[in-house]
Structure 1
Amino acid sequence: MVAKKRQIVLHYHDVVLDEEDMETLKEGQWLNDNIMTFYMEYTERELIPQGVNDILLLRPTMSQLVTYYPGTPSDLTSALPPHFDKRRFIFIPINNGTPETANNGTHWSLLVYSRPTNRFYHYDSLHSTNIKEAKLTAKRMTALLGTRKSPDFKSSSAPQQENGADCGLMVVGIMDCLIKQALASSSNSKALKLDASSKVQPPNETRSWLKSLVYHLQPLTKSLSPKRILAKLV
């Protein structure tokens, strides 16, 4: 059987999106890893000013690796982004999928490590559905933070989704809100806070914004040679 040719929609730096990825941005669909990664890549390059190195957006694949790596977490030090143990804020998407059920996760939530308070904050738009996974990730990541004392863990208030499919969009909205707060925070002692009254963009608006952003950036893909795009797929 001949494999179906992958229809590339966007090649943005280290991220390649195809038509299947874009399907997850349709109403009622569950956001996949590639779209989440695209949002983080775009935010790092366009929202976070150049030279600001104390905010890290950990990609979903790396979050899963730290959580489910069979060896000790310290073995992964060389695979982590630079200065991981010095970052002031680390944003970590949590997915309840496991290595045995790859691409079969059913819920996204957000874990944030704040070095000023030495605490993990968990934001879940569906009550505490991912609390077990978030605590496991926090436990595994503690050894990589370079802190003298183990961080605390707090379940934080977050806007709640109204259906079963918007969790990924809620994570994007919450993350966007928190990153802006982190950038505006000038004091190392200032805690990062979010509650249901914070201005988090509604899921339908986030969905539309992401789709518009992809199509706005499409000329970047058209300017690349097929060989450069294929190099990202292998």
Structure 2
Amino acid sequence: QLQNQRLQEQEHSVHDSVELHLRVPLEKEIPVTITQETEKKGHKLIESEDEFPEITEEMEKEIKNVFRNGNQDEVLSEAFRLTITRKDIQTLNHLNWLNDEIINFYMNMLMERSKEKGLPSVHAFNTFFFTKLKTAGYQAVKRWTKKVDVFSVDILLVPIHLGVHWCLAVVDFRKKNITYYDSMGGINNEACRILLQYLKQESIDKKRKEFDTNGWQLFSKKSQEIPQQMNGSDCGMFACKYADCITKDRPINFTQQHMPYFRKRMVWEILHRKL
């Protein structure tokens, strides 16, 4: 039922996106292309030690211990001005849905990792950003980047929550594109348009100059181009792992079968505040 509900919502989303495109043009005509990006062929699913490091017995014990009964309000990890309680960690157990706290913490760990040499620089918006931007407009979020220059990084990560489904949008300033990733195959060009419009408004507000959209492209990944979830529970994990691969400039080479491993791994990473 949940899966059907999500698919129905996505069908409405696609319809709404088309309707929006027909009746509400952007403030100015901008030279962007909406298209479907085709992945380069030849990427093989290789399970290397680097991509899927071993979870040792000691790590297993630590992970199991966290899932045992205890005070649900006990703080198990603190960083990035965020706190993770036992109740939050429980969302990583079995087939539970990830909550905002877990996703925000993970996105912050991706930002922290991006400071390492050789990796693209990253800024991640929190899980409430896109919903606020879409429903209340730019004025409602313009202060969220008071201390951040979004144009100074290589990649912007934007978690998107569609009621009962997590997706991810990625702005890549190096490639001049905005790409939407949905583990249930949804197409959401509207989200990409909203984010491009955000960049235009942010540039005028913070830089006092027009954002050059020439050459920018908007993509929604097709279901056959990226790994898809095979249940109604792992959308949050897929969104996080898409972001993980993208911020390492690596091909997205996992599948549904890796999710139990990733859930355990993420527990350990959050407890130790490091990827």
* TM-score normalised according to structure 1 size: 0.69
- Does the CA-based 8 Å contact 1:67-1:136 persist in structure 2? no
Higher relative CO (Cα under 8 Å, sequence separation at least 6) belongs to 2
- Confirm whether residue 206 of structure 1 aligns to residue 273 of structure 2: no
Q: 1:149 to 1:161 in 2, by over 3 A?
A: same
Structure 2 alignment gaps of length 5 or more: 1-70, 204-210
Instruction: Call closer, same or farther: CA 1:84–1:215 in 2, change over 3 Å.
Output: closer
Structure number with greater Rg is 2
Residues 154-203 of structure 1 deviation map (CA, whole Å, 9 limit, x = unaligned): 11221001101001101111111110008xxxxxxxxxxx5xxx323722
Pairs aligned (count): 190
Decide which of 159, 165, 168 is 2:227's aligned counterpart: 159
Q: Which amino acid aligns with 1:148?
A: D
| 1:1-234 matches, cutoff 5 A | 6-49=73-116, 54-69=121-136, 71=137, 73=138, 76-80=141-145, 81-96=147-162, 105-128=163-186, 131=188, 134-135=191-192, 137-138=194-195, 140-144=197-201, 146=203, 147-149=211-213, 151-156=216-221, 157-181=225-249, 198-200=252-254, 202-216=258-272
Residue 100 of structure 1 corresponds to none
1:6-55 alpha-carbon deviations (Å, 9 max, x no partner): 33222223110112211211111111110001111222224532898842
Q: Please say if residues 110 and 124 of structure 1, whose CA atoms lie closer than 8 Å, have aligned partners that are also in contact.
A: yes
Match for residue 102 of structure 1?
none
* 1-structure distance, mates of 2:175, 2:80: 33
Deviation at 1:5, TM superposition (A): 8.2
Let me know the Cα RMSD of the aligned residues.
3.0
Inter-partner Cα distance in structure 1 for 2:76 and 2:90: 11
TM-score (norm 2): 0.60
CA distance in 1, matches of 2:254, 2:154: 22
Q: Contact 2:154 / 2:173 at 8 angstroms: preserved in 1?
A: yes
Contact 1:74 1:143 in 2 (8 A): no
**SS of residue in 1 equivalent to 2:109:** helix
> Partner letter of residue 176 of structure 2?
N
Alpha-carbon distance change, 68 to 115 in structure 1, aligned in 2, over 3 angstroms: same
String of CA shifts for 1:99-149, please: whole Å, max 9, x gaps: xxxxxx3111111112233221111110116x2663464255243453222
- 1:153 maps to a residue whose letter is L
Matched AA of 1:85: F
CA distance in 1, matches of 2:264, 2:91: 12
Q: Displacement of 1:215 after TM fit?
A: 3.4
Structure-1 separation of matches of 2:226 and 2:202: 25
Question: Shift in Å at residue 75 of structure 1?
Answer: 6.0
Q: Work out the percentage of aligned pairs sharing the same amino acid.
A: 21
For the residue of structure 2 that corresponds to 1:92, the secondary structure is: strand
Amino acid at match of 1:169: M
